[in-house]
Chains A and B, each alone.
Chain A
């Protein structure tokens, strides 16, 4: 599949934003993160910026962005519609929670409950995003449960890295944050490797034989057209196996191994150095996650390619 930057940015940025707001709500409720307005400014500022820029970016690839409002109408059947609706609904409790945290000194049980509802809706939105891909039977690399597990775990781990950095900067670092962050990175790393293992071993049931109904070895003798058409440009994107394996290694190194090393180092450092290392872990992981998401698209093979010379998909 063609790796469009708008969608890569949308899924990674909004995932990190939702992960961050989820963890802030949980850690505030459990007393690990004090509801200091400065932390609120930084956390919700970064979180909402990532989510909003991501959602806006996802409309850039539309043919008619001015009609995007129509996309929330078909929640009964469409995961894309559910995702749009969930994203809008999530702004309500998370927005109220952020305002209560920063401006109103709202600290009662209802405040905590609002945060928890917001956190659940954040994860619901991430789930809808993942299901847009996981529900497409035409793409074996997406239509499996590892897709959802990876979207969840990467959202949480990128959010955890952001939260870790913010807490370190404001002097609210807590050992639980180190364990949550390293745990989240480890889970995401293992999930991603399991995902790759799965897609390497499980091609689609569809083959050139089922696509054409012909028997034997099927070869495309003549293409229907001389130039690449929309289908080939959108769904025929191919990446060489040797490049894919290098990029996978880079994803593991930058996305998972380097952030763990940096925050472990931070854990053993004086506060100023620790804050700097925690902040540094964010852009390093971002590089890894952007490559991971680029590969998620580039490695995915659509069954329509079976009509254009592929024998398996």
Chain B
């Protein structure tokens, strides 16, 4: 069934990505690729991986943008982009076969690789570029929010988070239930004015991004005077005036 759950899911598992902290190291994308190469949607096929024109399927892509304001102050922002597990996911409703679906129990959007016909329409419907086509398998692939990791009781409890979250060395990625206003991620979004991407596309994405904190544009105070006092050029003393005259020649 590619109709969305009839009532919005109460549990909304998703990610909160802190654009202030992300250093753009791509570790999340690499660990995503590593875990998912053996996971729910495996393999994530690569073509010509060691050649001149390597391409392949990735669920997570790290862009780097430069945002410049009106007076010319610019800042570099690293921007991880992956599936936002939308509440009104257009990729689900356009699917003609029912291969694309949104789970009622936690809101995760998945693809059934056994019934996907590879028509690519879901990738056209997604504004965020979350879906990538695997030319080798002939089916569409996407972020699973590590559905095979977050519920995996063979793993330590602290490892039951998406691969991108567990690997982030900067702590820029958070995972939790965004449907619960009392969850840590919901509180973080509240405290930091977390926002959704392209709200005008009306997909109601679950994932949130935290904006870069405002940057100081003026120098801070260190306690030192802002300028040095001019040196006294002799004052009233006739001797010092004479020394100054001699040394100034």
* Interface positions of A (Cβ within 8 A of B): 1, 61-65, 67-68, 70-74, 76-81, 84, 132, 135-139, 205-206, 208, 210-231, 234-235, 302-304, 307-308
Q: Are B116 and A64 in contact (CB under 8 A)?
A: yes
Q: Provided the pairs A63-B138, A214-B65, A215-B69 are in contact, do residues A77 and B117 lie with their beta carbons within 8 angstroms? A: no
List 21 A-B pairs, Cβ < 8 Å. A62-B117, A62-B119, A63-B118, A67-B115, A68-B117, A70-B98, A70-B115, A71-B117, A73-B96, A74-B2, A78-B2, A79-B94, A137-B127, A208-B65, A220-B64, A222-B24, A222-B64, A224-B26, A235-B123, A303-B127, A307-B81
Q: Are B67 and A217 in contact (CB under 8 A)?
A: yes
**A304 vs B129: C-alpha distance in the bound complex, in angstroms?**
6
User: B183 at the A/B interface (Cβ < 8 Å)?
Assistant: no
15 additional A-B pairs beyond A215-B67, A304-B126, beta carbons within 8 Å, are A67-B116, A70-B98, A77-B2, A77-B3, A78-B95, A80-B94, A136-B90, A136-B94, A212-B67, A213-B19, A214-B67, A228-B55, A229-B55, A230-B123, A230-B135
CB contacts (< 8 Å) of A137 on chain B: these are: 90, 125, 127, 201-202
**A307 vs B79: C-alpha distance in the bound complex, in angstroms?**
10
Q: Are B138 and A64 in contact (CB under 8 A)?
A: yes
Q: Are A221 and B66 in contact (CB under 8 A)?
A: yes
Q: Are B117 and A210 in contact (CB under 8 A)?
A: no
**A62 vs B97: C-alpha distance in the bound complex, in angstroms?**
12
**A72 vs B2: C-alpha distance in the bound complex, in angstroms?**
12
CB distance from A238 to the nearest CB of B (A): 16
Q: Are B128 and A304 in contact (CB under 8 A)?
A: yes
Q: Provided the pairs A63-B116, A74-B96 are in contact, do residues A230 and B133 lie with their beta carbons within 8 angstroms? A: yes
**A213 vs B65: C-alpha distance in the bound complex, in angstroms?**
11
Q: Are A64 and B117 in contact (CB under 8 A)?
A: yes
**CB closest chain-A residue, reference B70:** A216
One of B145-153, B158-166, B192-200 contacting the partner: B192-200
**CB closest chain-B residue, reference A300:** B124
CB contacts (< 8 Å) of A74 on chain B: these are: 1-3, 95-98
Q: Are A84 and B65 in contact (CB under 8 A)?
A: no
Docked complex: B102-160 residues within 8 A CB-CB of A: 115-121, 123-129, 132-135, 137-140
Of the candidates B63, B93, B202, B209, the one whose C-beta lies within 8 Å of that of A213 is B209
Q: Are A71 and B119 in contact (CB under 8 A)?
A: yes
CB contacts (< 8 Å) of B64 on chain A: these are: 220-222
Docked complex: B14-52 residues within 8 A CB-CB of A: 19, 24, 26, 29
CB contacts (< 8 Å) of B125 on chain A: these are: 136-138
CB contacts (< 8 Å) of B76 on chain A: these are: 221
User: B211 at the A/B interface (Cβ < 8 Å)?
Assistant: yes
- Chain B, interface size category, equals 35 or more
> Lowest 7 CB-CB distances: which A-B pairs, in order?
A63-B118, A63-B138, A222-B64, A81-B96, A224-B61, A304-B129, A71-B96
CB contacts (< 8 Å) of B62 on chain A: these are: 224
**CB closest chain-A residue, reference B124:** A136
Q: Provided the pairs A63-B139, A220-B64, A304-B129 are in contact, do residues A80 and B201 lie with their beta carbons within 8 angstroms? A: no
Q: Are B133 and A76 in contact (CB under 8 A)?
A: no
Q: Are A211 and B126 in contact (CB under 8 A)?
A: no
Q: Are B120 and A206 in contact (CB under 8 A)?
A: no
Of the candidates A76, A213, A308, the one whose C-beta lies within 8 Å of that of B211 is A213
Q: Are B68 and A219 in contact (CB under 8 A)?
A: yes
Select the residue from A84, A212, A230 with max chain B CB neighbours within 10 A: A230
**A209 vs B70: C-alpha distance in the bound complex, in angstroms?**
14
Q: Are A206 and B69 in contact (CB under 8 A)?
A: no
CB contacts (< 8 Å) of B185 on chain A: these are: none
**A135 vs B139: C-alpha distance in the bound complex, in angstroms?**
22
CB contacts (< 8 Å) of A229 on chain B: these are: 55, 58, 61, 132
Q: Are A138 and B66 in contact (CB under 8 A)?
A: no
User: B53 at the A/B interface (Cβ < 8 Å)?
Assistant: yes
CB distance from A265 to the nearest CB of B (A): 42
CB contacts (< 8 Å) of B133 on chain A: these are: 63, 230, 234
CB contacts (< 8 Å) of B99 on chain A: these are: 70
User: B178 at the A/B interface (Cβ < 8 Å)?
Assistant: no
**A68 vs B138: C-alpha distance in the bound complex, in angstroms?**
13
Q: Are B117 and A67 in contact (CB under 8 A)?
A: yes
CB contacts (< 8 Å) of B58 on chain A: these are: 225, 229
User: B77 at the A/B interface (Cβ < 8 Å)?
Assistant: yes
